[in-house]
């Protein structure tokens, strides 16, 4: 509880993985955690009258942190997949995304996922659906190695220095990288699968889930969501 002006507010611990701009990043000036997910969650908290304590960790550790009670909320561009719905509960969808294959700019050898060959290394971020795809390709003998990274920043560097031949990552984050750093990487082929991002809470925490859904509905109705969307995506 945070007592302020006599009124006690609930304080919830929320976590994200910060190498995923524009959803989850750190402000270059202040070093503070920043991004669409941060602004979205803060707007929901303000609407619902609770407060947030932010932390960041490896994406691969988020769900177990939630299940063990170390955190209360995950706001980290997390796809509400069927497999994850068995482990945690998700809010309503707040962003529709999908996975793409990215290659180093000018690499004409790979025009889609079909052009990956058994001598290639393909990167993905630990614990993500992109990593799952890489592991699937390796298990099927379609690529030589699924190279799993903790931070997407290192994965992007390795894509450009030739350590990996391709990277499987989320469309909006890959597009944002291309916009920020033209001429470095490019997207090849079609979107591999659809994803729907949700905010995650511990399975059964209906009270918090209902608050998050109510807050999300309010900010969508009152125009705050659209304002945040324009701030981070336009």
Residues in contact with ligand ARG by CB under 6 A are 16-17, 20, 24, 59, 76-79, 125, 128-129, 170, 195
46/192 with CB nearer ligand ARG: 192
Q: How far is the CB of 157 from ligand ARG (least distance, A)?
A: 16
Distances (CA, A) of 72 to 52, 122, 200, 208: 10, 33, 8, 9
10/81 with CB nearer ligand ARG: 81
Cβ burial 4-19 (10 Å sphere, 16+ → b, else e): eeeeeebebebbbbbb
What whole-number distance in Å separates Cα of residue 113 and Cα of residue 226?
34
Q: How far is the CB of 106 from ligand ARG (least distance, A)?
A: 26
47/159 with CB nearer ligand ARG: 159
**CA atoms in the 13 A half-sphere facing the CB of 96:** 3
CB of 11 within 8 A of CB of 1?
A: yes
Q: How far is the CB of 191 from ligand ARG (least distance, A)?
A: 12
Q: How far is the CB of 8 from ligand ARG (least distance, A)?
A: 31
20/232 with CB nearer ligand ARG: 20
47/146 with CB nearer ligand ARG: 146
State residue 97 phi and psi, 5-degree precision. -135, -160
What whole-number distance in Å separates Cα of residue 200 and Cα of residue 176?
24
In this structure, the dihedral spanned by the alpha carbons of residues 76, 77, 79 and 85, taken in order and rounded to 10 degrees, is 20
Q: How far is the CB of 52 from ligand ARG (least distance, A)?
A: 16
């Amino acid at each position: 509880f945070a007592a302020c002006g006599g009124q006690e507010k609930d304080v919830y611990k929320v976590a994200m993985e910060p190498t995923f701009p524009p959803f989850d990043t750190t402000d270059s000036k202040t070093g503070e955690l920043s991004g669409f997910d941060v602004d979205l969650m803060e707007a929901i908290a303000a609407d619902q009258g609770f407060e947030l304590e932010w932390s960041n960790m490896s994406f691969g550790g988020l769900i177990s942190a939630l299940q063990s009670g170390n955190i209360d909320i995950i706001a980290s561009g997390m796809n509400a997949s069927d497999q994850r719905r068995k482990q945690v509960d998700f809010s309503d969808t707040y962003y529709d995304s999908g996975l793409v294959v990215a290659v180093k700019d000018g690499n004409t050898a790979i025009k889609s996922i079909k052009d990956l060959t058994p001598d290639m290394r393909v990167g993905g971020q630990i614990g993500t659906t992109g990593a799952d795809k890489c592991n699937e390709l390796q298990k099927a003998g379609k690529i030589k190695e699924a190279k799993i990274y903790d931070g997407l920043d290192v994965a992007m560097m390795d894509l450009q220095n030739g350590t990996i031949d391709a990277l499987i990552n989320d469309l909006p984050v890959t597009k944002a990288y291309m916009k920020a750093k033209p001429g470095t990487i490019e997207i090849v082929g079609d979107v591999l699968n659809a994803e729907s991002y949700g905010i995650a809470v511990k399975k059964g925490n209906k009270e918090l889930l209902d608050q998050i859904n109510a807050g999300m509905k309010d900010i969508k109705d009152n125009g705050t969501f659209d304002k945040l969307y324009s701030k981070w995506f336009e």
